[in-house]
Structures are given as C-alpha cells and as structure tokens.
C-alpha cells in the first residue's frame, strides 16, 4: 500500500481528476492512488479499473473492500459510485453506467441511447440520423492514434461516420485539412469554399498551351468519376460540384496540334493515381469551423472529464 511518493489526503478534492474521499489500491503494484489516471501518470503500466478490489479511506486510511462509504469512519467516498468501474465522484456530472459500452458516461442517461452497431452512446437527436459503422468507437483516433472508446476527450462524428477526437478535428480544420483522414470525404459543409474557388478559377485563366488538356478525376465526396478540363487551382466534380477530388487518369488533349502523352514536356505534370487536386489555401477555415460548431455530430465521452457535459459528446471513464 505504501508509495514512494505518498499522496497527501485531501478530504474535499481528492485529486485533479476527481473529487472523492478514497484512493484505489492498485492490485498490479500494491500502491494507492486517488484514480487510475494518477496511477498511469506515475507508473510504467496501466491500471485495469475492473481489477480493483480494495480502496483506502482518505480520512482514516482504512483498507477495505469497494463500498459506497467507509466501514470504519462512515464517511461517504463519493456521491456517485459504480462498483463495476471502480468509480467514485463527488461532482454531479449526471453520470450513468452503460452496460453496452461497459463504462460510465456523463451527460444523463435520458439524453443518450446506445447504438448496437456503432457500439457507443449517442445523443438522442442522432437516432436514425447518423451513419452506422460497425464498432466505430472501438478504434484509435486517426490523428493522434489514441483509443476513442475509453477516451476522456470528446469524439466528433463527421458525415462519413469515422470518429476522431474533437480537439484533433478542430486542429485539422485550423490548418486547412478539411477531409476525413480515413476516407478523404469532406468533414464540413464546403459549399461556400467551392463557390469561392469557382470565382478564383474564373479569374485565373490557364495559358493557351494548357487550355485543352483533360484529366479524369474521382470525387471523394460523391465517389463518381468525371472528365474535366485541367486547372492548377483545382478540379471540380461534374456530379456534386466538389473540389475534393483526386486525379485518376490523364492529362490528354483534344488539340490535334499538341501531342498527348507523358513525352510532351509542355503538358501539366502527370500525377499518379489518387493524388489530390490542389485546393486554394486562402479559405475561411476558422470561420467555417465556428459556424459548424452548433451542428457538429459528436458522441458521448468519459465521465472522467471535469467539465460539465453541455454537448452531444460521448465521455467514458
């Protein structure tokens, strides 16, 4: 039970992660910590919350089985207690245990439902309104590569259904990366951006030697192929109007005076399959992000977050 750096009891706050009046006795190293996060930050291994069988009272230091209150001094360890997750919390975050997720969540059971296909808790307004992907939360964030299901960070659901952390999503948008890192589909409503790009292309005519070149493109938003006139600023899908495209063939020309093929050095550079077409960098990404903020689809995350759950986010313990 003793630790190299014993934690001073704090009857009111517990640790920076939780308000609680007991410490978990880790069976893996026989050391006590206020929570598994404190343990993982100090040790070189991870604490399995479900393996915890005993706790230490922060007031009288009595070692005992996991219970709601101390068997010796009768102090209540936390207003919320989940024996399965070894979770104690004195803060009201509207915690509830989801059997489907196997974790405690925050935000109120009445505000969420468990999607059996996605295997995660979602806000009620997403019922029958989201794209289901088999066990989508049982994976790592494609940006930071950290686990999504047990993450204490909100997870964002783009239209394509591939989950990423909301913080990672916002950082991507700030740097002009609007496409899903998994499938390449646009994660925002890009209509305004595409209209701006239409105007830029109309005002930027290609040189005469490049005007007749055609390329074949694949749209990452509607997944249709089309043949379009080459332009250095981007290639527009003839189906949905998106510039989120990649070149799949070409260039070729209808001008009989210009030789078609890679041997013609005056042609635009040949691109290998699935090379993304450029999109102008001076787009209002941050403004778009703020306007999209109210309509973001998100999943519910861990109750280990100290902030109150005011969004549709999934939070796990």
H or E segment and range at residue 228: strand 225-229
- 165 and 196 fall within a common domain: no
**Buried b vs exposed e over 17-43: b needs ≥16 C-beta within 10 Å?**
bbbbbbbbbbeeeebbbbbbbbbeeee
Between 316 and 121, the higher pLDDT residue: 121
Range of weakest confidence among 65-79, 112-126, 256-270: 256-270
118 and 260 fall within a common domain = no
pLDDT higher than 70, residue 147: yes
Cα 311 from chain centre: 14
Query: Tens digits of per-residue pLDDT, 51-85?
Result: 999 999 998 999 999 999 999 999 999 999 999 99
Assign 277 a pLDDT band (cuts: 50, 70, 90).
low
Range of the domain at 156: 103-176+296-316
In this structure, is residue 303 part of a structural domain? yes
Q: 243: pLDDT confidence band, cut at 50, 70 and 90? A: very high
Answer yes or no: do 198 and 272 share one domain: yes
pLDDT cut 90: percent of the chain above it: 45
Separation between Cα atoms, residue 10 and residue 19, nearest integer Å: 9
- CA-nearest of 160, 166, 116, 113 to 138 is 116
Whether residues 116 and 260 share a domain: the answer is no
Q: What is the CATH number of the domain that holds 241?
A: 2.20.28.10
- Residues 300, 170: one domain? yes
Outline where 244-297 has alpha helix (H): 285-292
Residue 282: inside a domain, yes or no? no
- Considering the domain architecture, whether residues 65 and 119 belong to the same structural domain is answered as no
Q: Which two tokens stand for residue 130?
A: 């989201």
- The answer to whether residue 11 sits within a structural domain is no
The confidence score (pLDDT) of residue 267 equals: 52
User: Is residue 62 included in any domain, yes or no?
Assistant: yes
Domain count of the fold of the chain: 3
In this prediction, residue 252 has a pLDDT band, given cuts at 50, 70 and 90, of: confident
- In this predicted model, which residue has the larger pLDDT, 254 or 215? 215
Chain segment 148-179, per-residue pLDDT in tens: 888 888 888 888 889 999 999 999 999 989 99
- The 10 Å Cβ neighbour count of residue 160 is 18
Q: Cα–Cα distance between 202 and 192 in angstroms, integer?
A: 16
Q: Does 95 reside within a domain?
A: no
- Asked if residue 88 lies in contact with residue 265, where contact means CB atoms within 8 angstroms, the answer is no
The whole-number average pLDDT for the span 287-311 is 46
- Residue 257's pLDDT band, with cuts at 50, 70 and 90, is low
Task: Please report which confidence band the pLDDT of residue 119 belongs to, taking 50, 70 and 90 as the band edges.
Answer: confident
Position 209 confidence tier, pLDDT thresholds 50, 70, 90? confident
Model confidence pLDDT, tens digit, residues 214-231: 999 999 999 999 999 999
Note whether 121 and 70 are same-domain residues. no
The yes-or-no verdict on residue 48 having pLDDT over 80 is yes
207-227 burial by CB neighbour count: b if 16+ within 10 A, else e? Answer: eeebebbebbbbbbbbeeebe
Give me the pLDDT at residue 212, please. Answer: 81
Average pLDDT over residues 23-41: 91
Clarify whether residues 305 and 257 are in a common domain: no
What is the pLDDT at residue 151? 83
Confidence of residue 295 (pLDDT cuts 50, 70, 90): very low
- Res 237: pLDDT: 94
Q: Write down the pLDDT at residue 236.
A: 94
Answer yes or no: is 270 within a domain.
yes
Domain-located, residue 94: no
pLDDT reading at 301 higher than 80: no
* Confidence bin at 89 (pLDDT 50/70/90): very high
Same-domain check for residues 77 and 224 = no
* Residues 116, 149 within the same domain: yes
Question: Which range has the worst mean pLDDT, 6-10, 29-33, 90-94?
Answer: 6-10
- Average pLDDT of the chain? 80
Number of H helices, E strands in the chain: 4, 18
CB neighbour list of residue 269: distance below 8 Å, 6 or more residues apart: none
Task: Kindly tell me if the per-residue pLDDT of 315 is higher than 60.
Answer: no
The answer to whether residues 270 and 214 belong to one domain is yes
How confident is residue 1, by pLDDT bands cut at 50, 70 and 90?
very low
In a domain, 255, yes or no: yes
> Cis bond leading into 40, ω under 30°?
no
Determine the angle formed by the axes of helices 166-174 and 285-292, rounding to 10 degrees.
Answer: 150
| Nearest-angstrom CA–CA distance, 14 and 306 | 13
Do 219 and 78 sit in the same domain of this protein?
Answer: no
């Amino acid at each position: 039970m003793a630790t190299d750096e014993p934690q001073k009891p704090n009857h009111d706050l517990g640790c920076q992660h939780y308000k609680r009046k007991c410490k978990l006795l880790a069976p893996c190293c026989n050391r006590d910590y206020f929570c598994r996060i404190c343990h993982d930050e100090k040790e070189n291994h991870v604490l399995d919350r479900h393996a915890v069988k005993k706790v230490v009272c922060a007031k009288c230091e009595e070692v005992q089985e996991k219970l709601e209150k101390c068997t010796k001094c009768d102090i209540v360890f936390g207003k919320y207690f989940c024996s399965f997750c070894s979770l104690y919390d004195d803060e009201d975050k509207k915690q509830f245990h989801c059997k489907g997720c196997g974790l405690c969540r925050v935000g109120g059971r009445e505000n969420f439902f468990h999607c059996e296909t996605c295997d995660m808790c979602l806000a009620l307004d997403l019922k029958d309104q989201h794209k289901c992907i088999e066990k989508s939360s049982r994976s790592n964030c494609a940006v930071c590569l950290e686990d999504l299901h047990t993450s204490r960070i909100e997870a964002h659901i783009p239209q394509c259904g591939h989950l990423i952390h909301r913080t990672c999503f916002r950082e991507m948008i700030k740097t002009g990366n609007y496409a899903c890192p998994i499938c390449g589909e646009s994660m925002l409503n890009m209509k305004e951006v595409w209209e701006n790009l239409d105007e830029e292309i109309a005002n930027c005519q290609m040189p005469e030697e490049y005007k007749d070149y055609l390329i074949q493109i694949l749209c990452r938003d509607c997944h249709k192929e089309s043949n379009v006139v080459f332009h250095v600023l981007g290639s527009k899908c003839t189906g949905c109007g998106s510039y989120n495209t990649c070149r799949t063939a070409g260039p070729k020309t209808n001008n009989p005076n210009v030789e078609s093929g890679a041997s013609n050095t005056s042609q635009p550079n040949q691109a290998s399959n699935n090379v993304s077409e450029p999109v102008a960098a001076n787009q209002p990404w941050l403004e778009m992000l703020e306007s999209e903020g109210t309509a973001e689809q998100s999943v519910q995350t861990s109750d280990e977050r100290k902030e109150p759950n005011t969004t549709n986010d999934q939070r796990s313990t």
